[in-house]
Each structure stands twice: as C-alpha cells, then as structure tokens.
Structure 1
C-alpha cells in the first residue's frame, strides 16, 4: 500500500493534497496486496467526495478496476455512498461496468439494500450511456476502459476454455 493509499484510506485530505502536489505517488497505482485497488477505490468506498475530486483532478482514472473488475462506483454502491456515486456520475465516470461476475454497481447496491443508490443508478446508467454515445458520435475519446483489466480478463477466459478442452 502506497503512502497515497494510506492517506486516502485514513481520509487525510491534507496529506492526499501534499502527496499529489509533490508527485510522490501515482494516483493510479494499483495495490496488489488489496486486490489491485487504487486510491480512488478507497475514496469511493469511504464516500469521501472531496478526496475523490482531488484524486480525479490529479489524474486518477475512475475506469480502473480491481482484480475482480470492480470500479470505484462498485465500492461506492456497496457502501451506500450516494454522494460519491453522484459525483462520479457528474464527472462522467463509468458507473455501469460489469465486474467479473456480471454485476454492475446497481446490482451491488441492490444486494446491500441501498435503495437510494439503486434508484439513482437506474436513472444515471442510461444518462451515462447516452453521454458515451454522443461523445463517440462527436469523435471525443473518453477514458472509460481499463485496458490492463481487459487483458487480464481475456487471459482468465482463455485459461477456462483451455481447461475445459483438456477435460474432454
């Protein structure tokens, strides 16, 4: 866990600002000991909107995923952090990506009984999709894909296929 991960997890806004201003840590560093969580995943889980905003202003990518495919929106949904979900949505972060089990943040919010988050996500998902479609039509590139996770997921799928072939 980096110094930045620790400051975010502790909710130490001033320390987060200092670390990012001095460029002591990359805001997109994945912590392999914690399922590849980035500092933004921690901030979303804590519902710390000020730190979320600071991280994104300093280049944090809200599309990055943990090893199980969770985005920051999944963590905010799990914890019932409606304000964090609203902020992520307002910043055009992907809030409708499926994890490795096929669950979107709205499903996670349903599982944990966060009905306010469910209502919001059901409204926000089509808005986000419409925004991405409009951006694509205008030729605007959006940062909404974690390429590293896509490659990891493809490798995992290939291993499953190979194992099933060997059994037959």
Structure 2
C-alpha cells in the first residue's frame, strides 16, 4: 500500500494534498495486495468526501475498477457514503457500472440496507445515462471506462474452460 493509499484511507486530507502537490504518488496506482484498489477506492469506502474530491482534481479516475470490477461508487454504496456518491455523480463519474458479478452500486446499497443511497442512485443512474447520451451527441469525451479491467475481463472470458454438462 503506497503512502497515498494510506493517507486516503485514513482521511488525512493534508497529507493527500501534499503528496499530490509534490507529484510523489500516482493517484491511479492500483494496490495489488488489496484487490487493485486505488486511493480513490479507499477514500470512497471510508467516506472521506473532500479527500475523494482532491484525488479526482489531481487526476484520479473514478472509472477505475478493482479486480472484481468495483468502482469508487461500489465502495461508497457498500458503506452508505451518500456524500461521496453525490460527489461522484456531480463530477459525472460512472455510478452505474456492473461489477464482475453483474451488480451495480445501487444493488450493493440495497444488499447493505442503505436506502438513502438506493433512492439517490436510482435517480442518479437515469441522470448518468442521459448525460452519457448527451455527451455522445455533442462529441464530449467521457472518462467512464477502465481499459485495463475491460481487457482483463475479455481475457478471462476467452480463457474460461468450458464445463461439460452432465
């Protein structure tokens, strides 16, 4: 876990800001020991909204996924971090992506009983999809795809061993 991961998880805004300002750490570094979580994943899970904001302002990509396909929005939904979900949505982060099992953040919030997040995410998903359509029509480029994860998913699908139906 990098120094930036640790500071983001701890919610140490000043340390995160200093590390980013000095370009000492990559805000998109994936921690292989922690399922490829980025500092933004940690900030979202812990509910550190201002830390998440400064990470994004310094280039953290909210579309990046863990090895299981979770975005920052999935982690915020799991822990009921409504303020983080609102921030992500306000910055046009993808809050409606499915993980490896097909679950969107709204489903994760349902599973954990965070009904305030469920209500918000249902409305926000529709707004996210509408914005995606508008952006496409206007030629606005969105950063809503984790290319590395998409490629790994393709490789995993192509390399699966067929099971015999008995």
- Please classify the TM superposition score into its range, dividing by the shorter chain length: over 0.9
Counterpart-to-counterpart distance in 2, 1:41 and 1:57: 15
Counterpart-to-counterpart distance in 1, 2:32 and 2:136: 33
Deviations 1:37-94, CA, capped at 9 Å, x for gaps: 0000000001111001100000000000000000000000000000100010000000
Aligned length: 165
CA drift at 1:158: 1.0
Counterpart-to-counterpart distance in 1, 2:162 and 2:17: 49
CA drift at 1:11: 1.0
Counterpart-to-counterpart distance in 2, 1:164 and 1:56: 41
Aligned positions of 1:1-168 closer than 5 A = 1-160=1-160, 163-164=161-162, 167=164
Q: Which runs of 4+ in 1 moved over 6 A?
A: none
| Larger helix share, 1 or 2 | 1
Q: Gaps (5+ residues) in structure 2?
A: none
CA drift at 1:159: 1.6
- TM-score, structure 1 normalization: 0.96
| RMSD across aligned positions (CA) | 1.0
Q: Gaps (5+ residues) in structure 1?
A: none
- TM-score, structure 2 normalization: 0.97
